[in-house]
Amino acid sequence: MTARALMILGTASHVGKSVLTAGLGRILADEGYRVAPFKAQNMSLNSAATPDGREIGRAQALQAEACRVPARAEMNPVLIKPSSDTGAQIVLLGRVWGQVTAADYHNHRVEELFPAVLESYHKLASEYEVMLLEGAGSPAEINLREHDIVNMRMARAANAACLLVGDIDRGGVFASLLGTLELLEPWERALIRGFAINKFRGDESLLRPGVEMMERRLGLPCVGVIPFLHNLGLDEEDGVAIEDRRSAGRAWTGLGGDASPERPLRIGVIALPHMSNFTDFDALAAEPSVALAYLERAQELSGADLLILPGSKQTVDDLEWLHRTGITTSLRAHHARKAVLIGVCGGFQMLGTRIEDPHGVENDGQPRTREGLGLLPAVTILHTEKITRPVTGRVLDRAWKQTAFRGYEIHVGETILPDGWAPFAELTPGGADGATSADGLVFGTYVHGIFDDDAFRHAFLDAARAACELSPARDKVCVTAERDQRLDRLAEHLRRSLDMGPIRGWIGPRTGLRA
């Protein structure tokens, strides 16, 4: 039996498609539907490891969690990880497929991948009774229509009822909705069943005349005006989302003169040009005892108590950026002040003495080597094979009160330490991971999501605050424990905002199908 399909389309990127798909997945799962998410093609540097060690977009992993089903590579068969303005790595069914230019991908390669996309969809559709599809960007990208595989072409293949979502917080929502429909072909417009307005702030009665006019102009029902939901705290996939994150000016204003031991711990994350998996630090940012900022200029680093070098899609390029901007000098000065410095994945590789790319993995096949920061005695050699797996780990430093953690690895490369040098942790699977400096103030790890573990994060913050001569945190949050509650909160928010009657009518009643 083939599942019924509902597709969430947007008038633009970052209108809330991913979060709405997750919320609708939780609603339908609560109502007893066996439901699964699907996004044919996703462009994002935020990714996650599935239980069987495949790589997919982090948003689809969240959506699977919302639907209460395991994440699978088929839920995001094509993942595009940009490496430059015109090039990207293609991940097919969780494994690296190749490196392409944007023009080559859209004009040629995408047609090679579409059969695998369809096969993935039909495999899932045979196991579930409802498929929740997410579009990408806008379905009205007329310059890309001929080779589009993620919006209307996929909607037609799935025979999906489509909901078009506009973001009023960005302005121009009525023009965006109308313009999108005007640019669609007749067969594409026929698949759109209704529209919704997302991220509304204010008095809805003032919006109502415009909504009614849009219903007449579009010939479609508005199934809901969704109020802006503050402090949701769920993963975001788009690079656009990083623009909303707090800069030093926003996060640390007023803290410079605060010398009290109760003040927030100032954590600075270096905003690398090719930063990946910036969601690694959302849990830290959620802690009341932390003021976390993303730093782009060398002079901003002096305000931080603790600095983090995050993951990178282009590690050598971002290492060169550190040297070129003077941030390398500031990082070394930070270390000289006996302050804590952490590297995660690519950031860990940068902390070493050098990075070698003999196969040109990050440079279109052209070998190169770059000097690292020299704060750990590690040499990294980039290999063609990518390691992707969920792991559990144990910090080897006995001074830590909580040593156990869990997370996932997604990286290329092997990091070699001199004999007798202490790794940061022991992983299962994987063995020794990362490295720790002799003074314990610098450490690196390959594990993403390490700060998502509540007990580990709290122990880490206790140690970090003590190292900065700050008092223990009075209040702590349990992000992991609250994650399911956040999904439930999102679902309840949508239940109050959306008219679920028409949506249920589009997908039909439950069939009782079970995998």
Query: Which residues carry out catalysis?
Result: 345, 448
Report which of 459, 338, 309 is spatially closest to residue 398, judged by C-alpha positions.
459
Residue 483 near residue 95 (C-beta atoms within 8 A): no
Length in residues, the chain: 515
Dist. CA 213–CA 156, nearest whole Å:
28
> How big is the CA angle at 19 (ends 130 and 477), to the nearest 5 degrees?
120
Strands (E), 168-228: 192-200, 222-227
With b meaning 16 or more CB within 10 Å and e meaning fewer, what string describes 231-242? Answer: ebbbbbbbbebe
- Which structure tokens are listed for 422? 């202490």
Q: How many CB atoms lie under 10 A from the CB of residue 32? A: 10
**Which residues contact residue 282 at a Cβ distance below 8 angstroms, ignoring those fewer than 6 apart?**
233, 235, 479
Residue entry with tokens 């080559």? 104
- Which structure tokens are listed for 294? 């993303």
Q: By 3-state DSSP, what share of the chain in percent is helix, strand and coil, each rounded to 5?
A: 35, 30, 35
Dist. CA 41–CA 77, nearest whole Å:
7
Dist. CA 72–CA 204, nearest whole Å:
39
Dist. CA 360–CA 110, nearest whole Å:
24
Alpha carbon 467 to its chain's center: 30
**Which residues contact residue 266 at a Cβ distance below 8 angstroms, ignoring those fewer than 6 apart?**
251, 252, 255, 291, 293, 303, 304, 305, 306
Dist. CA 253–CA 369, nearest whole Å:
39
Report which of 127, 35, 24, 116 is spatially closest to residue 79, judged by C-alpha positions.
116
Q: How does strand 404-416 pair with strand 447-448?
A: antiparallel
